[in-house]
Amino acid sequence: GFEPTLIKMQEQHKRVSVKSNPGFLERLSETMGGTVVGIGLFFLSIYVLFTNEGRALQTASSLDEGLSLVVSLEPHAALDLHNNNHLIHLSAPLQTTQPLYDPNYKVAVQAVKLRRQVEMYQWVEYRESRDYQENGETKTETTYNYNTEWKAELINSRNFDKEIGHQNPSAMAVETVTVVAPEVKVGPFVLSKGLVEQINNFQTLSLNTFSVYNLDPFLSIDDDYFYHTQKPHRPQVGDVRVRFSFAGLSGENLPLGPPQDVSIVAMQKGEQLKPFKTKSGDTLEILYLEQLSAEEVFLKEQQYNSMKTWGLRAAGWAMMCLSIQLAMRIIYTLVDWVPILRDLVSVGLKIFALCVSCSLSLLVIGAGWLFYRPLLALALGALSLVPLFLARSGVPAKKNE
C-alpha cells in the first residue's frame, strides 16, 4: 500500500571562531579550578559511599521488621477495625467511581490516571564542533544543522545561531496534562497519595478501539494521534498533535481490558491506607502492579534495596576516580609542553586514579560497615587474617626441608 512520508526540512551552515592558545599561567589557573572541584567531588564521594551502607542496612532491617508484622487480608474481606494502625497486605483490583474525561477530544477512560501528551512541529538546532590548530591559534569550526521535528517541549528559537527562517511559536496551543482520579480504592480501602503516585504503568490509548463521534472539523486522526491539521503527513512548523495514555485501569473498559490488580503493603487507618513508620526508621508504603503475596512483595523490595546499594557503590567509586583525576591534573599541566612526557603522565595519572579510587572506595565501604555493622565487620576482619596465620604456620616446615 501507499505509505505517506513525513516531509523533513533541513538546512546547514558553518562558522569558525578563533582563540589564541592560552599561555602557561592561564592553563595553570584553569587547572587550579579543576583541582578545587576535584577535592569537593572527592569528599562528596566519601559521603555517598559511607552513608549508603547505613541506608542499605536501615532499609533491610525495616523490611525484615515489616515482614514480621504484616497482616495479609483476603481480596474481598470487609473492613475490620481490629487491624487499625497495623501494617496490612492486600492484593485486589483497582476501583474508581467514574471515568476520566477530556472534553476537547471526547476521550473517556475509567482509570486512575489519564495523560494528554502534546507535541508541536518545530525547528531544532543541532551543533557539532571540531577544534584544530592553525598559525599557533586554536580554531573551532561549528556546523549548525536545522531540522523540523515533532517535539514535546517548547524549543526557543531565539537561542539559535541563525533565527531568521527558523522561528518557532512562543507557546503551545494545547497543554500537556495528567488528570488523576479524586478517589482510588482497593477492596474497602482508599489509597493514600503516595500509593497513587506509584501507579505509572502508562499505555498509549489506541484510537482504533474508540469510536470518535462529532470530531471537530479542524482535527484529524492518524496512528493514535489527534492532529490539529487536515494534513497530518505534511505538517507545518507550529502544527500540534495530541496523544492520550492511561495508567491503572479501574473499571470495565471493554476494549481495554479488566481492572488492574495491585498488591499493597501499608498501614490501615480506618478506611484509609497510610504510610507505616518502622522502628528501624524507614517508612513502608509499597505498591506493585501485579498479584503478589506479602512474602513476594518484601522479597522484591529487598532485591531493589540490594540493586540500589550496588548502584550507589559504583556511582561513589566513579565519582572518586574522576575527582582524583581532576585534582591531579595540575601535574599534567606542568609537563604538557613535553610531548612524550605528557602522554606518559596522562596514562600514569589515569592508572593512579583507578588504583587509588578502588582501594579508597573499599576502605570507605569497610569503614561504613565498621560504623553501621561493627560485629559483622569484626567477624570478616578476623576471617581475613586466617590465610596469614595458615601461611605463617607453614613457613617453619619449609625451612626444615
271 vs 291: CA distance, rounded Å? 21
Determine the distance from the C-alpha atom of residue 401 to the mean position of all C-alpha atoms in its chain, rounded to a whole number. Answer: 63
Residues with Cβ within 8 Å of residue 31, at least 6 apart in sequence: 329, 330, 332, 333
SS3 (DSSP) at 138:
strand
Residue (of 154, 194, 181, 187) closest to 79 by Cα position? 187
Is residue 61 classed exposed, middle or buried when 0-12, 13-18 and 19+ CB atoms within 10 A define those classes? middle
Cβ-based burial of 366 (10 A; exposed 0-12, middle 13-18, buried ≥19): middle
**Cα→Cα distances 89→86, 145, 284, Å:** 10, 55, 11
d(CA 207, CA 162): 39
Task: For the beta carbon of residue 351, count every other beta carbon within 10 angstroms.
Answer: 9
Q: In the chain, what are the domain boundaries? A: 27-58+307-400, 70-291
Q: Using CB atoms within 10 A of its CB, is residue 191 exposed (0-12), middle (13-18) or buried (19+)?
A: buried
Tens of pLDDT along the chain (401 residues) come to 444 455 566 677 777 777 666 665 666 666 677 788 899 999 999 999 999 999 999 999 999 999 999 999 998 888 888 889 999 999 999 999 999 999 888 888 999 999 999 999 999 999 998 888 877 778 888 899 999 999 999 999 998 988 888 999 999 989 999 999 999 999 999 999 999 999 999 999 988 766 555 677 778 888 899 999 888 889 999 999 999 999 999 987 767 889 999 999 999 999 999 999 999 989 999 999 999 999 999 999 999 999 999 999 999 999 999 998 888 877 766 666 667 777 777 788 888 888 888 888 888 888 888 888 888 777 777 777 787 788 777 655 544 54
**Strand segments (E) across 104-224:** 107-109, 111-134, 137-151, 177-180, 185-186, 189-190, 203-204, 220-222
Using CA atoms, how far apart are residues 313 and 299, in angstroms rounded to an integer? 21
Amino acid occupying residue 149: E
- DSSP letter string over 70-128? -EE--TTPPP-GGGTTSEEEEEEEEE-SS-EEETTTTEEE-EEEEEEEEEEEEEEEEEE
Amino acid identity at 62: S
Please tell me the number of Cα atoms within 13 Å of 278 on its side-chain side.
Answer: 21
SS3 for 17?
Answer: strand
**Residue ranges of E strands in 239-336:** 240-249, 261-269, 272-274, 276-277, 283-284, 286-288
Half-sphere exposure of 341 (CA within 13 A, CB side): 8
